[in-house]
């Protein structure tokens, strides 16, 4: 087990730690949730960095790295649904897209091909992380206001409207990037179907 793979597995475990603090009450818990999420995103950067630097890319890493990414992101969005911050249908669109694209990537890997990230996919990823970080920041501020017994009714309505707009934009980019990905890599699905028929 090399360092990049350890970092990948740690990102999966940090997703559960992140959820624990996210659902805990108090400003400290929300601060720790933000900190753990940032730490998890750093492992996403450094596992690829060390794998390239030390030239220790493995099949395990190729398989588990995108899965770890999806677990981290989806754990956040599904938590937001449970907290009634995000409409369930938006989360389901994102979940469906990520599962389908991950399936195609794994199918390509079994055929010896690693599909690189497309520009639309990178934009989607940025929008997802932005939405998550913004939501965590708002939750942290709200927790401070609650502890200080400050009125938050009007402010709460405002941040719900803001989050809805951000989540809607993120869902749109996620859907568009998924359609684009499937179109440009449709031959993997066609070739796999031909192999099953032969």
Q: Which of these ranges, 17-21, 62-66, 67-71, has the smallest mean pLDDT?
A: 62-66
* pLDDT (mean) for 172-194: 77
pLDDT (tens digit per residue) in 102-118: 888 777 767 666 666 66
Q: Is the pLDDT of residue 184 over 70?
A: yes
Its pTM stands at: 0.84
pLDDT of residue 185: 76
Q: How far apart are CA 35 and CA 18, in angstroms?
A: 8
Q: Which of these ranges, 68-72, 73-77, 149-153, 177-181, has the smallest mean pLDDT?
A: 149-153
Q: Which of these ranges, 11-25, 82-96, 145-159, has the smallest mean pLDDT?
A: 145-159
* pLDDT (mean) for 52-61: 72
pLDDT of residue 55: 76
Q: How far apart are CA 65 and CA 71, in angstroms?
A: 10
Q: How far apart are CA 123 and CA 131, in angstroms?
A: 12
């Amino acid at each position: 087990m090399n360092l990049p793979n350890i970092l990948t597995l740690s990102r999966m475990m940090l997703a559960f730690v992140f959820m624990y603090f996210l659902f805990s009450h108090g400003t400290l818990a929300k601060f720790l949730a933000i900190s753990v999420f940032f730490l998890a995103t750093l492992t996403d950067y450094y596992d690829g960095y060390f794998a390239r630097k030390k030239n220790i890319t493995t099949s395990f890493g190729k398989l588990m790295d995108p899965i770890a990414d999806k677990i981290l992101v989806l754990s956040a969005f599904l938590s937001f649904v449970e907290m009634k911050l995000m409409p369930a249908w938006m989360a389901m669109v994102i979940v469906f897209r990520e599962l389908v694209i991950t399936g195609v990537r794994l199918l390509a890997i079994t055929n010896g091909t690693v599909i690189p990230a497309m520009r639309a996919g990178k934009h989607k990823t940025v929008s997802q992380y932005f939405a998550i970080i913004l939501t965590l920041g708002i939750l942290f501020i709200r927790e401070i206001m609650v502890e200080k017994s400050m009125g938050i009714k009007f402010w709460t309505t405002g941040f719900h409207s803001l989050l809805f707009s951000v989540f809607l934009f993120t869902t749109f980019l996620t859907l568009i990037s998924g359609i684009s990905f499937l179109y440009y890599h449709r031959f993997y699905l066609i070739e796999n179907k031909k192999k099953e028929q032969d």
